[in-house]
């Protein structure tokens, strides 16, 4: 089904990703209708906003009835909400992609099933499980709840077996997974898109630097050999095809001496793809909307080198200096309250010289 101009895209979640998706929809002549429990959701400044909880099935049904297709900016959507929506309207990316990425063990089983490399992992549902897993995988390792946390929440590093009880206690009884550490030189991500016609288009891989579990910068092009670059794109394409995926996905990869190891996948537009706004003719947000609307994918070729820097919390104090930079494209999210760790915006520094 191809949506025509004037049709409405429903977006679950009105944070910065929902906001930038809504802008992309408007650029294509589509309307955006955003659903978010927060009346101050940033996307509400530029799109119609329904303010209701994800447990408000009546509001969800009214929302579904008012839109022509549904997508989302985050993957922790309750199953009951998805059931209520999907009774009326198609959801892209699909339920299988959501279910796969919502559970770390399901995700890793899926990736291994495709013949891809992941970090060593083991399910942990008790302290005894954890102790056995530590023998198998070794320390240091990291214990995580299997259901998604966000930006490093719900995780415990284990440096030695003696720390197992404290780490297990932090899980508060939730099902968990122990992941072995991977020795990697750097992390890259591939922002990949797949259309309803099955066509796949990948953006050039970006190189990511995190700090305290939050993405700080993405640099494009990433440090990769030609062979690694090809591998990265093929891995992403294999994942999207296996899920019969529609939309944009972020695929995080560790670069190691043993090849590329899949860290995690996110079934949505991704912070590490923000560079595409100033590096490509069609950015990740517009590509995602094109896919959700049933349009053919657009041109994701890279015309410029870009370094994307997140503006987090007090980074906003540097805004006056950043405004003075000639090559800095500024993207702010319309959030009034600055809080530590809160993503307030980002800057794309275009580092390629202009043509003459």
What does the binding site for its own copies look like in residue numbers (CB under 8 A)?
5-6, 19, 22-23, 26-29, 31, 45-47, 278, 281-282, 286, 295-296, 298-299, 301-305, 316, 319, 323-324, 326-334, 336, 345, 348, 350, 352-355
Q: Choose between 195 and 267: whose C-beta lies nearer to its own copies.
A: 195
- Least distance in angstroms from the C-beta of 29 to its own copies: 3
Do residues 220 and 273 make contact, with C-beta atoms less than 8 angstroms apart?
A: no
- Least distance in angstroms from the C-beta of 45 to its own copies: 6
Q: Choose between 17 and 22: whose C-beta lies nearer to its own copies.
A: 22
SS3 83: helix
Q: Angle, nearest 10°, between helix axes 57-65 and 79-86?
A: 40
Q: Choose between 154 and 313: whose C-beta lies nearer to its own copies.
A: 313
- Least distance in angstroms from the C-beta of 316 to its own copies: 8
Q: Tokens 């750097």 — which residue?
A: 186
- Least distance in angstroms from the C-beta of 220 to its own copies: 10
Q: Choose between 45 and 160: whose C-beta lies nearer to its own copies.
A: 45
* CA dist., res. 282 & res. 261, Å (int): 28
- Least distance in angstroms from the C-beta of 267 to its own copies: 24
- Least distance in angstroms from the C-beta of 334 to its own copies: 5
Short-list 258, 265, 257, 256, CA closest to 238 = 265
DSSP assignment letter at 42: G
* CA dist., res. 135 & res. 133, Å (int): 5
Helices (H), 212-283: 226-242, 276-279
- C-alpha separations of 126 from 109, 114, 145, 173, 178 in Å: 20, 29, 12, 8, 11
- Least distance in angstroms from the C-beta of 333 to its own copies: 7
Backbone angles phi, psi at 233, to 5 degrees: -70, -40
**Residue 186 pairs with which residues in a beta bridge?**
255
Q: Choose between 30 and 85: whose C-beta lies nearer to its own copies.
A: 30
Do residues 343 and 313 make contact, with C-beta atoms less than 8 angstroms apart?
A: no
Q: Choose between 99 and 338: whose C-beta lies nearer to its own copies.
A: 338
DSSP, residue by residue, 90-144: -BSS-HHHHHHHHBHHHHHHHHHHTT--B--EEEESSHHHHHHHHHHH-SSEEEE
Q: Choose between 139 and 246: whose C-beta lies nearer to its own copies.
A: 246
Short-list 266, 76, 104, CA closest to 174 = 104
Q: Choose between 122 and 280: whose C-beta lies nearer to its own copies.
A: 280
- Least distance in angstroms from the C-beta of 223 to its own copies: 15
């Amino acid at each position: 089904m191809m949506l025509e101009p004037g049709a409405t895209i429903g977006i679950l979640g009105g944070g910065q990703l929902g906001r930038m998706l809504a802008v992309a929809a408007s650029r294509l002549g589509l309307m955006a209708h955003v659903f978010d429990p927060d009346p101050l959701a940033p996307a509400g400044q530029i799109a119609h906003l329904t303010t209701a909880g994800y447990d408000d099935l009546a509001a969800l049904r009214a929302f579904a009835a008012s839109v022509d297709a549904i997508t989302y900016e985050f993957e922790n959507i309750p199953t009951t909400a998805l059931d209520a929506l999907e009774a009326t309207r198609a959801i892209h990316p699909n339920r299988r992609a959501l279910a796969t990425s919502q559970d770390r063990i399901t995700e890793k089983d899926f990736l291994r099933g495709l013949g891809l490399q992941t970090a060593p992992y083991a399910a942990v549902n008790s302290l005894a499980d954890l102790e056995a897993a530590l023998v198998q995988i070794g320390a240091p390792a990291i214990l995580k709840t299997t259901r998604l946390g966000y930006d490093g929440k719900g995780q415990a590093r284990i440096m030695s077996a003696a720390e197992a009880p404290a780490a297990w206690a932090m899980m508060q009884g939730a099902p968990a997974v122990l992941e072995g550490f991977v020795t990697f030189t750097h992390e890259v991500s591939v922002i990949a898109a797949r259309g309803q016609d099955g066509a796949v288009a990948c953006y050039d891989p970006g190189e990511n630097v995190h700090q305290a579990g939050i993405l700080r910068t993405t640099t494009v092009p990433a440090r990769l050999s030609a062979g690694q670059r090809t591998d990265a794109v093929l891995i992403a394409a294999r994942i999207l095809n296996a899920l019969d995926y529609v939309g944009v996905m972020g695929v995080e990869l560790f670069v190691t001496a043993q090849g590329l190891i899949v860290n995690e996948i996110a079934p949505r537009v991704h912070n590490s793809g923000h560079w595409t706004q100033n590096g490509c003719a069609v950015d990740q947000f517009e590509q995602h909307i094109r896919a959700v609307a049933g349009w053919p994918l657009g041109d994701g070729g890279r015309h410029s080198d870009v370094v994307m820097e997140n503006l987090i919390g007090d980074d906003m104090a540097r805004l006056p200096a950043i405004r003075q930079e000639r090559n800095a494209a500024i993207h702010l999210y319309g959030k009034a309250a600055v809080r530590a760790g809160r993503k307030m915006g980002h800057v794309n520094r275009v580092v390629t010289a202009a043509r003459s």
